[in-house]
Amino acid sequence: MWDSLWKIAHEKSIGILIGAAFAIATAWLAAWWRRRREMHEIHRGQQFQQLEFAYAFVAKGHDGCHRLLVRTIGCLPLKVFVAKDSIRSHLLGLTRESADDELNSVIAMEGKMGSFVLRELHGHLRTLLEQSATKREWWVMVPILETYRPLQYVAPTVLLVRSADLPLFASFESCKDLKVHHGSDAAKILTLMEVYRKFRKQQKSLAQAREEGRSTQYLEEMWLLDLCLSTDFVEPTTEEVESGLLKPFRLPPWERFAPTLKAMGH
């Protein structure tokens, strides 16, 4: 009898040890793969574990030319933004899909899951946002991952765009001469062209659904918000530019984006 009990215990112990070894190996492999993927993303300048918030608007300078201005609102670690692992994994998956498609900077917010994420985005945006202006305007809230090359650093961003400025981005010809403060903001111009196209498409879908008496629930992938955001800006003086203290506003360095523009048909 003792021999039988020892045999059973021995066999069960072997099974437990094999199961534990398999679990440890699987956990180690998953951690190794996660570290490998994160190092690959760092090497490519992709900061997917951080969520940024910013807004963009167009203003006229002293020379009569229009400038594109981009202001940072703040940032949050993605784990703070989304506590639920399943939602965070879903958003990370969408972000990584967008990163693989250079000509698609707007992160898709489709269906019920997308609406849930937009609601979470809006809540965190309101927490970070300081509405210091006196004039209320309509702003389009859109999640993006700026993929237009060349960029040294990309992160998922909740971007607010002044609705009244969007028609300027209807075509490359109408916005290519916007002056920017940083050469990398040329990519933001291309992103805003995409935002304009997709926002117009969304507005048409919403109008058609209402006309046909259908529900518009889950159709919005960009939200229209009524906000008071400061659109004042300081123009660098000639002395500040000549001394090297500040950079001047300048035309976008489109030559750096030649392959991308060619792929876009410009």
Say whether both 145 and 249 belong to one domain. Answer: yes
CA angle 13, 15, 21 (to 5 degrees): 100
Q: 49-64 pLDDT, tens per residue?
A: 788 899 999 999 888 8
What are the backbone angles phi and psi of residue 218, rounded to the nearest 5°?
Answer: 70, 5
Cis peptide leading into residue 150 (ω within 30°)? yes
Is the CB of residue 157 less than 8 Å from the CB of residue 144? yes
Say whether both 135 and 30 belong to one domain. Answer: no
Say whether both 1 and 127 belong to one domain. Answer: no
Weakest-pLDDT range from 125-134, 207-216, 223-232: 125-134
Q: Which residue has the higher pLDDT, 195 or 123?
A: 195
What is the total count of domains within the chain?
Answer: 2
Residue range 90-117: mean pLDDT, rounded: 79
Say whether both 38 and 82 belong to one domain. Answer: no
Say whether both 18 and 94 belong to one domain. Answer: no
Q: Work out the percent of the chain whose per-residue pLDDT is above 90.
A: 32
C-alpha 264, offset from chain centre: 20
User: pLDDT class for 223, splitting at 50, 70, 90?
Assistant: very high
CA distance 258 to 264: 10
Say whether both 36 and 59 belong to one domain. Answer: no
Check residue 62 and give its pLDDT: 85
Say whether both 73 and 36 belong to one domain. Answer: no
Say whether both 34 and 49 belong to one domain. Answer: no
Residue range 250-254: mean pLDDT, rounded: 94
Say whether both 165 and 199 belong to one domain. Answer: yes
Q: Which residue has the higher pLDDT, 56 or 37?
A: 56
Q: How far is CA 45 from CA 128, 136, 138, 149, in A?
A: 25, 36, 32, 12
Structural domain span for residue 139: 44-233+240-264
Say whether both 123 and 143 belong to one domain. Answer: yes
Residue range 199-208: mean pLDDT, rounded: 94
Whole-prediction pTM value? Answer: 0.79
Q: Is 202 a residue whose pLDDT tops 90?
A: yes
Residue range 183-204: mean pLDDT, rounded: 94
Q: Work out the percent of the chain whose per-residue pLDDT is above 70.
A: 75
Say whether both 4 and 128 belong to one domain. Answer: no
Say whether both 31 and 58 belong to one domain. Answer: no
User: pLDDT class for 239, splitting at 50, 70, 90?
Assistant: confident
Q: 131-190 pLDDT, tens per residue?
A: 776 789 999 999 998 887 656 667 888 999 999 999 999 999 999 999 999 888 999 999
Burial of 169-197, coded b for 16+ CB within 10 Å and e otherwise, reads: beeeeebbebbbbebbbbbbbbbbbbbbe
Q: 62-102 pLDDT, tens per residue?
A: 888 999 999 999 888 777 666 666 666 767 777 777 677 77
Residue type, 72: T
Given 27, 43, 59, which residue is the final one in a domain? 43
